[in-house]
Structure 1
Amino acid sequence: MTDDTHVTVARRASMTEETLTDGLVWRVDEFRLMRSERHADGASYSTVKAWRLGAAGVGGTP
């Protein structure tokens, strides 16, 4: 790992059918804690932990 290593939270989301035109509302179904590392030849990313969200968008399973 280099000094540029950091942790970020990423989300996977998709537009719902009723918001395809306005693009304002997203359905988020998963959160991931990601680690990224910079190298001389680019960067690499790995998932530290992922959480699937429940149907209501809260809670979920680690």
Structure 2
Amino acid sequence: MKIQYCDDTDTIYIEFRADNIAETRGLDESTILEVDAEGNVCAITFEHASEQTDVEQLQVQGMVV
């Protein structure tokens, strides 16, 4: 899993798996879902992230190393 925040575009990108993307679905005007050929969620993008979340308080919990 990979989480990236780009402050220049105010975008959060969360990648759950690095599979080939078969379809990109717009859930609303600021949220994009990417799925593989079987319909499994591969990634989600939140545009205008600072308007939807508190990007300054990003926390990762339950991390398995």
Of Structure 1 and Structure 2, the greater helix share is in 2
Between structure 1 and structure 2, the one with the greater Rg is 1
Of Structure 1 and Structure 2, the greater strand share is in 1
Q: What's the TM-score, normalizing by structure 2?
A: 0.30
